[in-house]
Amino acid sequence: MKRRMFNLLLWGTLGALALALAAFLLHFALEKYYNARYPLKYQELLEDCAGENGLPPSFLFAVAHTESGFDPEAVSSVDARGLMQITRDTFDWIQHKMRLEKPLDYDRYATDPAVSAKYGAYLLRLLYDEFGSYELALCAYHAGRGNLLKWLRDPECSSDGETLDHIPFSDTRWYVNRVMETQKTYQELYDLE
């Protein structure tokens, strides 16, 4: 009887230790997976650009992750380029808004990570200031400011003219949701504000 109790206790303890070890290994594997899936590429650059523009670093990481997968050489189907996927017209408009004395050449600098991050963060801040939310700033960043203004005037898209009830472009709807979810992931993984 004592031996049977001892065996039950021993096997129960070993089973509990095995479960604890399995849980630890699973947690470790998931953490490695998420760190690889959501890297902190260009960390210093993106954190500096976020700080200069009063944006949460997690927001800029989420935009760069969604836009280019942190590939500074990325080029989209509409010829948006770089880490933050900026088009030629937007690049030139940003330089005009920044009042640069010596504008940069798009073909030479659009894929420069420092320029792309700086311009993308600047634009996102302008859009946030104009529209008052990260979701609306993302809509304008992705679909264009003109489209967003049109949607805000459309009662089928906006019941109050200030928020969107419906984003008509499915790719923009996906984009906004993706960036916001990715931002949450970056906040949780790295405690980024």
Q: Rounded to an integer, what distance in angstroms lies between the CA atom of residue 55 and that of residue 100?
A: 22
pTM here is: 0.85
Q: What is the pLDDT of residues 78-125, one digit of tens each?
A: 999 999 999 999 999 999 999 999 999 999 999 999 999 999 999 999
Q: What is the pLDDT of residues 142-180, one digit of tens each?
A: 999 999 999 999 999 999 999 999 999 999 999 999 999
Contact 190, 40 (CB under 8 A): yes
Residues contacting residue 134 through CB under 8 Å, at least 6 positions apart: 59, 128, 180, 183
Matching residue, tokens 């590939």: 71
Q: Rounded to an integer, what distance in angstroms lies between the CA atom of residue 44 and that of residue 29?
A: 26
